[in-house]
Structures are given as C-alpha cells and as structure tokens.
Structure 1
Amino acid sequence: MVLVLDGFLDAGNAAAHAARHLAELHVSPTGPGPVVATFDVDQFHDYRARRPAMTFVRDHYEDYDAPRLVVRVLRDTGGTPYLLLHGPEPDNRWEAFARAVREVVERLGVTRVVAMGSVPMAVPHTRPLTITPHANRPELLVGSSPWRGELRIPSSMQSLLELRLGEWGHDMLGFVAHIPHYLAQLDYPQAAAALLEQVELAGRLTVDLTDLHAAAREREAEIETYLAEHADVAEVVTALEQQYDAFQRAEESGASLLASDEPLPTGEELGREFEQFLAGLDGPDGPSDERPDNGPGWS
C-alpha cells in the first residue's frame, strides 16, 4: 500500500503530486480506481485550520470540496494491483488513526506500506536531488541515508504510523525528498518523479513517469529563464551551490563541513530574494500550479 498524507510533510507538493499521478494513470468512467476503505474525516480534520474550498456562483454556494481520506485499488503498468491511501494528514486523534490504518492493513492483507514525503532544505536545484530512506526494519531499506547520528525533528502522522506499525509487526518504509527551500511553495515535479522511482523499487511496481518527467523539464526551464533575467536571485543560488559543494567536499575528505570563505546567506536574505523569485514564477505573469484537492475512520 502506497501512503501519502498531504500537509506537513509535502514541500513542493511532491508527494501529493506523485499520489495524484498514480491515481490519474488509472482514470476510468467510474473514477481513478475503486474505493475499498474510507476514514471518517470529521474525526480527524480541523476545518478552521484547513478550510475546504467552495464555489460561490452569483447568489448561491455550490461545489464544496469536501476533504476525503480513502484507500483505492490501483494497478501498475504491468497490471499488478496495489493500494493507495491518500488524503490530508489528520489534525488530531493520531493514535486512533494509526489503529484504523492497522485494521485496513490486516483486513486487506497488506504486506508492505510505502510512504512518500518531502521537506524543504538549504540545497540548490542545480545539484542532484537527495532522498532520505527510512523503515521500521533495516532489511527494508532500499538506499543509504545521507544523515549521520541522531536528529530531533517534528513528528508527523506518517512517521508515527511507521513506528506503530512496526510495533504491531507490520512492515513500513518510506522516502523523503529534499526540496530546495526557495521552491517549496511551488509544484516541483522533479521530486515527485524521484519519489515514485523509489516506490517502484520498494513496492516492486512499474509506473509510467513520462508525464512527470515532461513537467519536470518544463519547470526546470521556467526556473532557468527566471534566473537568467534576475541576477540578484541567481547570485543567491550560486552561493547555495558553493556552500553545497564545499559541504560535499568536506564530507568526502572528512574535513570541516564549513567553508571558511563561502558563508551561507542568512534566512532573511534568502527570504527577501525568494519572495521575488516565487512571485515571478507563480504570480500573475508567471505559471500557476493547480493545487491538489485535500482529501481523509475506516469503513
């Protein structure tokens, strides 16, 4: 079962875009794959924190985008069936949601859960995209982690679910893509494609990524065009590249991780520069990405 919970762990809409891509590959007259389980959204969703969209037409309301969290049956390009659990991350009752997912896993005979996520990082888009693999058993890991030592991080429903499923004897692994923080508010299909490539390996599935790769090339061209026209923003990206390369050289040599003559721009400097960057890419004169629908007990 592939798992994506929109919200906290989804910089660049990478995971949500990947989940939407999986569903769209299987669109039929009855929808993108039959629903085999649903969760009671009212038990988990904070409507005032994440208000669903509605349409107002002249003098009446219509087209309420109700949040949904469902499990669908999909098939990969080779015909292999798998499940997709997708919707908004629960705002509350995490332990109850974990128990509900456990019931789904056990009732439907799920042998492995594979999660996707993404986080903003101080990395340039011109360098290889990095992914952190994780799992509740070492034998499940597909690749090696770029991290060393112990980190204290904010929790998410996906991370808690991996912990709880492991305690209950069920396998779960996942992948977190590192998104350039100045692109975290944009749709970043490069990362969506990279995540699905890992899902193919972990879930033994085959996925047609042609459309995602095409979207990634278009986004890359948009970014490069913007940088070519805005030297001040390009300078900040160059500074990130220098810092990134210095870090990589230090890692390889075992030396200090900081370059003495290549300081990283401050958060305020980056913020000022990339407010303009985001406005240029996603403003009135730039491309506008359609945001995915937010959609989450088990029935």
Structure 2
Amino acid sequence: MTGNRFVHIVDDVDGLGDAPVLVVALHGFLDAGNGTVLAVDQLERTGGAGPVVATFDVDAFHDYRARRPAISFVEDHYEAYDAPRLVVRLQRDAADKPFLLLSGPEPDNRWEAFVNAVRAVVEHFGVGLVVSLGSVPMAVPHTRPIAVTQHANRRELMRRVNHWRGELRIPSSAHSLLEVRLGETDHPMTGWVAHVPHYVQGSDYPEAARALLAGVEDSTGLTFDLDALKVAAAQRLAEITEHLEENPDVAELVAGMEQQYDAFQRGGDDSLLATEQPLPTGEELGAEFERFLAGLDGPDTTPVEAPEGDD
C-alpha cells in the first residue's frame, strides 16, 4: 500500500479502468435530510459494498467529543463499537461501470491535510472527475420539485443554470475546500447540493438522495438504480401530507412557503423569502414543527425496496 501520511492506498486495483469518477459523499454538515447517507446506502444496497482501495487516518480528522460514536452496553460489558471510517471503495453502477466512492464523516479538523490526502487518491488512480454530494436545509416546500444547485471549478462542467446570482458568503466545508484546492492543481471537480425543506431536515428525506444521484448521472454518464429511492420518496411525501392534514397550523406555514417559492421561481425576487409575505421567525416555526417532526420519527418511515418490475 502507498499513500501520504494520512491515507493508505492500495497499489494494485483490478478493473478500475482509465480516468475513473470519484464520488465524494461525506455526512455531517452538508447532510440535511440524510441525503448523502441515503445516497451511499442506495449505492451499496444495489451494487454491494465494494472492496476498500484507500483508507484515511480517521483519528487525525474526527472530533470524538463533538460526534461520539455509538457503542452497545450489554448487561455487564461493552461491544459493537461503531467506529467512524473514511474509506474509498471500488463500486460499480447499474451498467457494471466502475467508479470510486469516498464515504464517511466529514473531517472536523485538518482540512488541508484531508484535501492533500484526497488529491493523493485522485492522482494515484488517475481520477478524471471528482463529484461531491451534499444537502442543505432551505425554506422550500415539500410540495414543489426538489431544488438542486450545481457547482464546479470549471465552467464547462456545469450541466444546469442556477438561480443564484452574485456572491453569497456561507460557512465552508471540507467539500468546498476540496473543490477549490483541486481546481488550483488542475483537477476537475463538480458537485450537487439538494435543498431540503427545513422542517424535515432532521428526518430521512429520500428525494434528496434521488436528486443527488441523478446529478451524478448527469455529470458522469454513470447510471444508478433509483427505484427504491423513488418508492421511499413517495412514501415520505404521503406521510408528510398525512401529518399536515392533522396539523392545520403547520399546513398554513407550508402554504405560505409555497407562495414564496413560486414567486422566487417566477424571478420576481432575489431570494426564497418573498418581501410581501415574510416567513415566521425560527422560534415560531420551531414551536409548530417540534410536534410535526416527532410524528415523522416512527418505525414506518424506513425506505423500502422497490417492487420487482416497477419502472
């Protein structure tokens, strides 16, 4: 195995091909609605968990006190420690085309070291394109098509025109720094960010994962089996609709967001907040949504497999 100080890379990997795609799917900060986690789960559920071809020194990047891994206490002893792992696996898409998948928790520290380690992976395997996944909460209603923003360190990688204009100063991430640094060293990278309704950001939102993987398909030519995510997304939508029917106060807030979102889509406003009808404050929303979200955390919300033969 070879690599720099923070990553160990397998020297000989069979069946990878030339200029493979590297999909970066880190959970943590950019993972509203568990969009990234659900996307990785779907890739590994349909294609299997491929062999590990690179392993990062997670102890160098993870803050255990901020994000404590789970462990089981059984009667009189500990077992089943859920150790965090940052790994690159060799995966295959629905057409048996190989690609690389970097998954695990977003590093809490040493971002520059992490970026250098990822670049070592990119250069070792001759990666042709890096694609990152992320999801963020936004004041958007679940009743409208999910919004997705693409970004890239090369203009020719853009596959869509974003609504955003001008400059936005936002909190950075390991993903965003990776895109900047890879651009500085002439490695192409793009990424897709799904905008999850902020009132369901703490629960699974399968539509975000489906939209992210569809973005990867657009950027790379890879193809994925998204049927299970489509079924899970429809089930989630039905659950939200049911809860809104039982909570008219929350339904009224969502109706207000629908009007504001539609105004934004018509191009009459520079943001998702229409000036003639501002959203309630975070405190007002929180009081209404606390009960709503609690109702969505039941055991019946687990994504289901698509029935065989469904389109």
TM-score where L is the length of structure 1:
0.90
Identify the match of residue 226 of structure 2 among 200, 203, 209: 209
Moved >4 Å (runs of 4+):
253-261, 288-291
Q: Which of residues 208, 214, 237 in structure 2 aligns to 1:197?
A: 214
Aligned sequence identity (%): 64
CA distance in 2, matches of 1:158, 1:255: 26
Total equivalences in the alignment? 282
- Counterpart of 1:116, as a letter, is L
How has the CA–CA distance of structure 1 residues 258 and 211 changed in structure 2, closer, same or farther, with 3 Å as cutoff? closer
CA deviation map 1:213-234 (0-9, x unaligned): 0111110110011111111111
**Cα distance in 2 between the residues matched to 1:115 and 1:16:** 13
Distance 1:233 1:258 in 2: 18
Letter in 2 for 1:14: G
User: Could you say which residue in structure 1 is the equivalent of 2:95?
Assistant: 78
Counterpart residue number, 1:137 = 154
Q: Check if 1:124 corresponds to 2:141.
A: yes
Shift of 1:64: 0.3
2:6 maps to none
Distance between the aligned counterparts of 1:270 and 1:287, measured in 2?
A: 25
Match of 1:219 among 226, 232, 236: 236
For residues 254 and 56 of structure 1, what CA distance do their matches in structure 2 show? 53
The CA deviation string for residues 100-151 of structure 1, in whole angstroms up to 9 with x for no partner, is 0000000011110000001000111111211110000000111111201000
1:18 corresponds to: 39
> Structure 1 stretch 264-273 or stretch 91-100: which is displaced more?
264-273
CA–CA distance in structure 1, aligned partners of residues 149 and 163 of structure 2:
6
Instruction: Report the alpha carbon displacement of residue 259 of structure 1 after superposing the two structures with TM.
Output: 4.8
Report the Cα offset of residue 274 of structure 1: 0.6
Q: 1:4 to 1:290 in 2, by over 3 A?
A: same
Q: Which has the higher contact order (CA 8 A, sep 6+)?
A: 1
Deviates more, 1:237-246 or 1:38-47: 237-246
Larger mean CA deviation between 208-217 and 16-25 belongs to 16-25
CA RMSD of superposed structures (Å): 1.8
Q: So what's the TM-score if we normalise by structure 2?
A: 0.87
Structure 2: 5+ residue stretches without partners? 1-21, 304-311
Deviation larger for 255-264 or 17-26:
255-264
Where does the alignment leave 5 or more consecutive residues of structure 1 unmatched? 292-299
Q: What do the CA deviations read for 1:169-224 (whole angstroms, capped 9, x no partner)?
A: 10100000101000100100011101111101111101000111011111011001
**How many Å apart are 1:257 and its aligned residue?**
8.1
